[in-house]
Amino acid sequence: MNSIRKIVKEVLHDVHKPLYAWIPYGFTNPETKKDLREEGGDLFKANVEEAKKLLAEAGYPDGKGLPTITLLYNTNESHKAVAEAVQEMWKKNLGVTVELLNQEWKVFLGSRKSGDFQVARAGWIGDYTDPMTFGDYLLTNGGNNYGRYSNPAYDKLIATAQGTLDQNVRMQAMHDAEKIAMDDMAVAPIYSYSHYFTLNPKVKGLVNPPNDTTNFRYVTIED
């Protein structure tokens, strides 16, 4: 079992979906009618041997000589559990020592905004129900781009997607941009949020979009 799947299954109790790309599940390509994530597939895989090879090439074989890495997360038991799992895996598989740093939300947010971190836990639920809410997140100088990722090729593709009404062009640009971001490992995804609820069959018209803002406007109750 790879590390991401193990975290989702054993730490998060299999509630959420493992994620091997940046844009999560739940967004539909308006042209193909397919889920954008399923259509794009996995864009990276957990590969311990490749990680060890790259670490050695950087001058730190088996993690020897590498300074301690600090992983920042905000106060929450599940965030703590995930951070501890990452800490254990990096030590066991790579020989990398990870120190965990917990901060309350406002302090944590300030640390991220100021760039005062090495590795930080993050989560994002889109502001609106379109994959662009994830696409523009990683733009150079983007307001939420606390990791300060920057790639002109990525920015250009997102500009293409933002500047066209042709959905085929738009969605292809989104796929291509996401591929660049994952090749660069702009972020290290772990899982896509999932939510479970029960619904009385008499309730009709409930809209529950992927950004988790349930819409009751069209709800009716049938006898």
- Map out the domains of the chain as residue ranges: 3-221
The band of 96, judged by pLDDT with boundaries at 50, 70 and 90, is very high
Residue 196 has pLDDT above 90, yes or no: no
Residue 137 has pLDDT above 90, yes or no: yes
And the tokens for 102? 């917990």
Residue 2 has pLDDT above 90, yes or no: no
Angle subtended by helix axes 152-162 and 167-183, to nearest 10: 160
And the tokens for 63? 């993690």
Task: Please give the pLDDT value at position 127.
Answer: 85
Q: What is the pLDDT of residues 144-193, one digit of tens each?
A: 999 999 999 999 999 999 999 999 999 999 999 999 999 999 999 999 98
Which SS3 state, helix, strand or coil, does residue 192 take?
strand
What is the reported pTM? 0.88
3-state percent helix, strand, coil for the chain, nearest multiple of 5: 40, 10, 50
Instruction: Give the DSSP H or E segment for 158.
Output: helix 152-162
Assign a CATH topology to domain 3-221.
Answer: Dipeptide-binding Protein; domain 3 (3.10.105)
Which SS3 state, helix, strand or coil, does residue 102 take?
strand
Task: Please give the pLDDT value at position 147.
Answer: 95
Q: Are 14 and 170 in contact (CB under 8 A)?
A: no
User: pLDDT over 70 for what percent of the chain?
Assistant: 98
Find, among 199, 151, 201, the residue nearest to 22 by Cα: 151
The band of 211, judged by pLDDT with boundaries at 50, 70 and 90, is low
Residue 213 has pLDDT above 80, yes or no: no
The band of 214, judged by pLDDT with boundaries at 50, 70 and 90, is confident
Question: Average pLDDT of 28-34?
Answer: 94
Q: What is the mean pLDDT of the chain?
A: 94
How far is residue 83 CA from its own chain's centroid?
A: 15
Rounded to 5°, the CA angle 164-168-149 comes to 65
Task: Please give the pLDDT value at position 205.
Answer: 85
Q: What is the pLDDT of residues 39-74, one digit of tens each?
A: 999 999 989 999 999 999 999 999 999 999 999 999
Is the alpha carbon torsion for 24, 141, 161, 209 positive or negative?
positive
Question: Average pLDDT of 90-104?
Answer: 98
Residue 32 has pLDDT above 80, yes or no: yes
